[in-house]
Amino acid sequence: MPELEVIIATDCGSTTTKAILIEKKDGVYRQTFRGEAPTTVEAPFEDVTRGVLNAIQEVEELSGRQILDGERIITPAQGQRGVDIYISTSSAGGGLQMMVGGVVQSMTAESAQRCALGAGAIVMDVLAANDGRLPHQKIERIRQLRPDMVLLSGGTDGGTVSHVVELAEFIAAADPRPRFGVGFKLPVIYAGNREAQGAVQEVLGGKTALTVTENIRPVLERENLGPARQAIHDLFLEHVMAEAPGYRKLMEWTGAPVMPTPAAVGQIIQTIARQQGINVVGVDIGGATTDVFSVFGEVFNRTVSANLGMSYSIGNVLASAGLENILRWAPFDIEEAALRDRIKNKMIRPTTIPQLLEELQLEQAIAREALRLAFVQHRELAVELKGVQAERTLSDVFSQSGGGESLVSMMALDLLVGSGGVLSHAPRRAQTAAMLIDAFQPEGVTRLAVDSIFMMPHLGVLSTVSERAATEVFERDCLIYLGTCIAPKGSGKPGEVCATYELSLPRGPQAGELRVGQLLRFSLEGEAEVVLRPGRNWDVGAGPGQEVRTRVRGGETGLVLDGRGRPIRFAEHSAERVAQIKAWDQALEVY
C-alpha cells in the first residue's frame, strides 16, 4: 500500500457521528479538522451513511478540501481534492450485544466473557452449567434477550463433552431471533472442547449460523482468545453490521473493516502499551455505560459496566454506590432528597449540562463513584486464570473461589488515560485530574492524561492500517497530559509525616514534608527530578520505607503529591469532611 498522506475517519456513535481529518504535515501525521453530525441509523432516515456524509461535509467546509463527489468519497488524494483512505468505527444501534456460555462459571465462562469484552461487545448474560438456573430459566433468558451473537465455550480439550452439548441444546431450544435481519439465522461461535465439535454441529448446525473456531481455554493454564475474537469481528461485519440500516453501503466505502468502537479504543491502548513498554489503564465514561481497558504485562482486558453512566444510567450509579458515597465527595452539605431530585432530573433530561457550580460539583462527585465502581468490576474480571494454582492440590483446582489474583496492580501502573464527556469537557483540567486520582487512587508514580476530543476510536482502527500515523496523532493531538501523581501507599494518623521530598523543578529546587491527609501540587510543564523518602510503613514503589529517585513529566496540572493514603480516608463528622474536601480542592485549584 502506498504511504498515506490524507486520511478521513468517522466514529458512528449511538447519538453523534464524529469525523476527523488526519494529514501528513512536514513528515509528521497531525489531526487537522473535525466535524460532527447526528447519527442517522434510526427513523426517519434509517441509513447510517446520511450522518457520515453530513459529518464529512462539515470537515470539507472547515478544511477547504473537496472530499465528496455527490455521495462518493474521492480516493486517492490529488492536491486539495480527495483522501487516500476512509476508515470507520461504530457503536450505533446499541453496539454489539452478546451472550456467552461456558461449563464452569469461574473458568471457561469467565474466559468467554473476557474474549467477548475484548472484541468490543456488551455481554448481556453469562450462561454456565453451574450458574444455579434451571433449564427452562436458561432457555427463557436466551429467548428474552435476543442477542446479536452467542459465544459458546466450555471444557478444556479432551475434557467434558456432555455439559457443552447441554448448553448448545438450550440455545437450540430457545431458538432466539437476532435483533436485525428477521430472516437470518443467529450467529453462534463455538470455541470450546474440540472433542465436542461434532456434537455441537449436530445440535446447532441447522438452526443457527454456526462458526467453529479454536478452543479459548485449551488447557487450564492458558487462554487462547485471539481466534475467537477474530471470529466475533468477522461475524459482526457479516451479520450484525450488514443488517443494520445503511451499513452495507458504509462497508463498501471503507478501506479497512469497520470496527466496534470499544474494540478500536482497546486497539490503540494495546498499541501504545506495546510500543512504549508500559502498563496502561484507560477509561471511557459515557451517558449509559463506562468501559475500562487495561494492559498489564502485555495482557489486555476490557470490561463494560453497562449500568454505570452519567445520564441514562445515572440512577444506577446512585443505587450501586449509595447516597453516602456520592455525598462524601461534595464540598458542601446537601439534603438527600435534594440530591435524589437532581439525579432524577438528569435521567429525565439526559442531555442537560450543569449550569451552577454546585451542580457541576455534584456531577463530578457522581462521576468519581461511577468510575470507582466500574474499576472495581474491572479488577474482578482482569484476573489470573482461575482453576490454576501455584501449589496445585486437587481441592484448589476444583475450588470455585480459588485463584484469580487481579492482574491490575496500581503500583505497577505507568499511564492512566481518561475519556468521555465528564472528563474531556470538564471546565478545568485540574478537575479531570482530581476525578481520576480520587476514583482510581493510583499508587506510586503514575502519569495522568485525558483524550482531548474523543478520537481514540478513530486512531484504534487507523492503527490496523498505519501504526505510525495512529501513534503520532495519539501522542501529539489526542492525549492531553495532565501531569504526574505520586502517592505513597500506606496509612497513618492525619498530620503525621508520611514522606519527605526533594524536587529539582525548572524554577529552582524545592524540598519539604508530605503529611497524612495532605495534597500538594507543583506547577510543572516539562520534566523534573524527584527524590521521595517514605516513612517506615509507606511505600512509593521500591518497598516500605525505601527511597525512590525518578524523573517525572508534568502537564496542565503539573506534579501532584498525594499523602491521603490508600484507600483515601474521610473525616467522620460532616463539618470536618466538608473542610477536608475544600482543602483538597484548594490544593489542586480545582474550582
Give me the pLDDT at residue 398, please.
39
Alpha carbon of 573 to those of 11, 334, 565: distances in Å? 47, 14, 19
Q: Which fold has domain 6-92?
A: Nucleotidyltransferase; domain 5 (3.30.420)
So where are the chain's domains?
A: 6-92, 95-248, 281-588
Mean pLDDT, range 189-203, rounded to an integer: 95
What integer best gives the mean pLDDT of the chain? 90
Q: Which of 53-62, 339-348, 402-411 has the lowest mean pLDDT?
A: 402-411
Mean pLDDT, range 239-260, rounded to an integer: 86
Evaluate if residue 393 carries a pLDDT over 80.
no
Interval 533-559: pLDDT, tens: 999 999 999 999 999 999 999 999 999
Q: Which of 25-39, 304-318, 394-408 has the lowest mean pLDDT?
A: 394-408
Evaluate if residue 371 carries a pLDDT over 90.
yes
Interval 40-93: pLDDT, tens: 877 788 899 999 999 999 999 999 999 999 999 999 999 999 999 999 998 766
Q: Where are the alpha helices (H) located in 31-161, listed in sequence order?
A: 48-63, 108-118, 135-145
Evaluate if residue 345 carries a pLDDT over 80.
yes
Alpha carbon of 367 to those of 343, 344, 511, 573: distances in Å? 12, 15, 34, 23
Whether 6-92 shares its CATH topology with 95-248 is answered no
pTM for the whole thing? 0.86
Mean pLDDT, range 92-109, rounded to an integer: 85
123 - beta bridge partners? 98
Mean pLDDT, range 313-332, rounded to an integer: 92
Q: 391 falls in which pLDDT band (50, 70, 90)?
A: very low
Give me the pLDDT at residue 390, please.
40
CATH 3.40.50.300 assigned to domain 95-248? The reply is: no
Nearest to 275 by CA among 478, 463, 483, 119: 463
Give me the pLDDT at residue 367, please.
97
Question: Sign of dihedral through CA atoms 187, 193, 197, 198?
Answer: negative
Written as one letter, the residue type at 55 is: A
The Cα 342–Cα 360 span in angstroms is 11
Question: Sign of dihedral through CA atoms 165, 169, 172, 178?
Answer: negative
